[in-house]
């Protein structure tokens, strides 16, 4: 049985083998083919995966490049939008500033006329304009001299060129807001004293010329009293304002203020902050020379006094008349000569000058006898006598002597007492004398030394003086002795300057680079009367706001897109999926 089963299994196995043989059992080549097919499929799959990865990297690179370009464009647009917004903001802010007002001011002095253009922002500071100079123009000769004979014919040619220059410095759009002032000082005060009709004719011709040239053609404003003769006190106060404004003691906030000493040709002024009277509960004793100012929101109580006929030029005229008077009284001659020889102690030895008596006679130097002497020729000779010069100066400043000698009652009397700690700024003639004496650029000497130096100067001969000071014009050089002796007597004996307060005087030509004159202070004070003008908005407000809105939207969109691109790049680099 077992044999049969084994036989059967063997037979079965043999049958399978036979079947397999009948079906051509696999050869070596078929096995190799099957092996090759497996390898080829694996290689193809690897190649396909590599190609897919390469395509994906290429696509990612293209997307990255596209994002970089888009990001750069967005950043450019954002930058332009921000720049545009900044420019528009600057435009808006600049248009929020108040416009400038301008003024054309004429300083009609005794020896020349000066036109100055000033400007200030119309919104002002506490009611007063912050003024600065724009342009200036000078006209030779005072209007009281140049225009006196025929003012209607000479005024246009005299004023016209400077008016044209002034108009060129003022924007056309602001001329309708800009006033014109001509303020005449001591020179025209003298003309008015001599002849009221002459003064009126001169001022009327000046006003017509300015109305035609500045107002008619230029469109500027000439108000009531735009052309006038200002008082000596107005001039003194204006000079005080100028000095303290330039020193920044009244603006932007009050500080310790200086007094003002001004020496002109026809008058001299003294101005200072008034000393309070301790016996009257803080109030000072008011006089005709006191004035109250309100500038930049603060109130100032001033003592301001002008002395007509005590400018250097007019006092010299009085001095020459006094020399002739004393000579004639000493000779007691009943017959008036045609020519007289006069010794001048205030002029240098060997100095000589010939003049007509009428040349130095006017309303300031008129006496009871001058009308009889107007045709006399005077030969003036210097004597370099400093002590005698001082005597003559003292007589000229003596009130009783003045009243008994001159018909004009413009005589000197001492001003109110200034506070002992007052610092004075001395300008114009005061500065020039100190400059000629060599003290303007250094600390001036003590009073005794100053007097000694003046005496030394006055003792020099005319020839020695010209040799030692070749840079000074002879017409000025010849008067330094007289002017120095006069100023020394005026300051010490007249104004009450003491030895310890002498050092508190600064003799200046300029303050912070600007010449000290009364026109600046006159303009500052005048701005109080001008209406305050607020800042104006841009004329095309709707367009401006629309532009700001568009730029804001553009900036917002750009920032959103930039953030989105940066966020996607960040997530992709960190394999974070964003759908």
DSSP code per residue over 141-185 = S-HHHHTSS-HHHHHHHHHHHHHHHHHHTS-GGGGGG-BEEEEE-
**Secondary structure class of 253 (helix, strand, coil):** coil
Any known ligand binding at 215?
A: no
On whether 265 is known to bind a ligand per the annotation, the reply is yes
- Regarding beta strands 180-184 and 132-140, do their DSSP bridges make them parallel or antiparallel, or are they unpaired? unpaired
Burial of residue 72 (CB within 10 Å: 0-12, 13-18, 19+) is exposed
**Strand locations in 467-528, DSSP E?**
505-507, 510-511, 514-515
DSSP class per residue in 1-64? -HHHHHHHHHHHHHHHHHHHHHT----HHHHHHHHHHHHHHHHHHHHHHHHHHHHHHHHHHHHH
Angle between helices 541-573 and 28-96 (to 10 degrees): 150
Give catalytic residue positions. 235
Query: What are the counts of helices (DSSP H) followed by strands (DSSP E) for the chain?
Result: 18, 16
State whether residue 266 is helix, strand or coil. Answer: coil
Cα(261)–Cα(425) distance, rounded to whole angstroms? 6
Name the DSSP letter for residue 461.
Answer: B
Burial class (CB in 10 A: 0-12, 13-18, 19+), 199: buried
The answer to whether 370 is a known ligand-binding residue is no
Residues sharing a CB contact under 8 Å with residue 210, sequence separation 6 or more, in sequence order: 159, 163, 180, 182, 222, 226, 227
Residue 233 labelled as part of a binding site: no
Is 417 part of any known ligand binding site? no
Other beta carbons within 10 Å of 4:
9
Of residues 454, 314, 466, the one with CA closest to residue 389 = 454
Beta-strand ranges (E) seen in 170-283 are: 180-184, 227-229, 259-263, 267-273
Query: Which amino acids are annotated as binding site for ATP, given as ranges?
Result: 265-269
Query: Which amino acids are annotated as binding site, given as ranges?
Result: 265-269
């Amino acid at each position: 049985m077992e044999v049969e089963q084994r036989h059967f299994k063997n037979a079965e196995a043999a049958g399978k083998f036979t079947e397999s043989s009948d079906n051509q059992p696999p050869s070596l080549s078929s096995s190799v083919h099957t092996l090759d097919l497996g390898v080829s499929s694996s290689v193809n799959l690897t190649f396909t995966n590599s190609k897919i990865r390469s395509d994906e990297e290429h696509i990612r690179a293209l997307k990255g490049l596209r994002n970089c370009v888009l990001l750069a464009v967005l950043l450019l647009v954002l930058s332009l939008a921000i720049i545009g917004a900044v420019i528009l903001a600057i435009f808006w802010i600049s248009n929020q500033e108040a416009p400038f007002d301008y003024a054309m001011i004429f300083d009609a002095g005794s020896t020349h006329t000066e036109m100055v253009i000033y400007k200030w922002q119309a919104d002002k500071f506490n009611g007063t304009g912050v003024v600065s100079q724009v342009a200036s123009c000078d006209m030779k000769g005072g209007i009281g001299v140049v225009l006196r004979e025929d003012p209607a014919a000479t005024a246009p040619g005299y004023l016209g060129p400077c008016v044209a220059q002034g108009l060129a410095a003022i924007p056309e759009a602001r001329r309708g807001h800009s006033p014109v002032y001509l303020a005449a000082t001591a020179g025209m005060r003298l003309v008015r004293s001599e002849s009221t009709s002459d003064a009126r004719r001169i001022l009327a011709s000046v006003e017509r010329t300015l109305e035609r040239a500045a107002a008619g053609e230029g469109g500027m404003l000439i108000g009531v009293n735009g052309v006038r003769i200002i008082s000596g006190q107005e001039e003194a106060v204006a000079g005080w304002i100028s000095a303290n404004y330039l020193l920044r003691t009244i603006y932007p906030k009050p500080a310790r203020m200086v007094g003002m000493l001004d020496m002109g040709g026809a008058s001299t002024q003294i101005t200072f902050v008034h000393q309070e009277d301790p016996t009257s509960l803080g109030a000072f004793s008011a006089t005709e020379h006191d004035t109250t100012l309100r500038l930049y929101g603060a109130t100032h109580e001033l003592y301001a006094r002008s002395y007509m006929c005590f400018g250097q030029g007019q006092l010299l005229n009085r001095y020459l008349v006094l020399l002739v008077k004393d000579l004639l009284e000493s000779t007691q001659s009943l017959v008036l000569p045609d020519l007289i020889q006069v010794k001048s102690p205030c002029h240098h030895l060997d100095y000589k000058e010939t003049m007509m008596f009428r040349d130095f006679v006017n309303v300031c130097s008129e006496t009871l006898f001058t009308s009889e002497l107007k045709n006399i020729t005077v030969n003036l000779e210097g004597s370099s006598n400093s002590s005698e010069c001082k005597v003559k100066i003292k007589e000229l400043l003596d009130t009783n002597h003045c009243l008994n000698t001159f018909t004009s009652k413009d005589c000197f009397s001492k001003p109110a007492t200034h506070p002992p700690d007052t610092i004075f700024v001395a300008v114009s003639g005061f500065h020039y004398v100190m400059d000629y004496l060599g003290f303007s650029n250094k600390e001036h000497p003590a009073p005794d030394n100053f007097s000694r130096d003046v005496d030394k100067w006055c003792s020099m001969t005319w020839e020695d003086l010209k040799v030692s000071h070749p840079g000074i014009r002879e017409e000025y050089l010849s008067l330094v002795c007289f002017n120095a002796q006069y100023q020394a007597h005026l300051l010490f004996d007249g104004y009450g300057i003491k030895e310890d307060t002498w050092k508190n005087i600064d003799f200046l030509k300029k303050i912070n680079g600007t010449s000290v004159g009364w026109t600046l202070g006159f303009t500052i004070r005048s701005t109080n009367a001008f209406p305050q003008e607020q800042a104006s908005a841009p004329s095309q407000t709707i367009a401006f706001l629309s532009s700001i809105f568009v730029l804001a939207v553009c900036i917002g969109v750009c920032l959103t897109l930039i953030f989105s691109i940066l966020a996607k790049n960040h997530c992709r680099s960190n394999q974070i999926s964003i759908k």
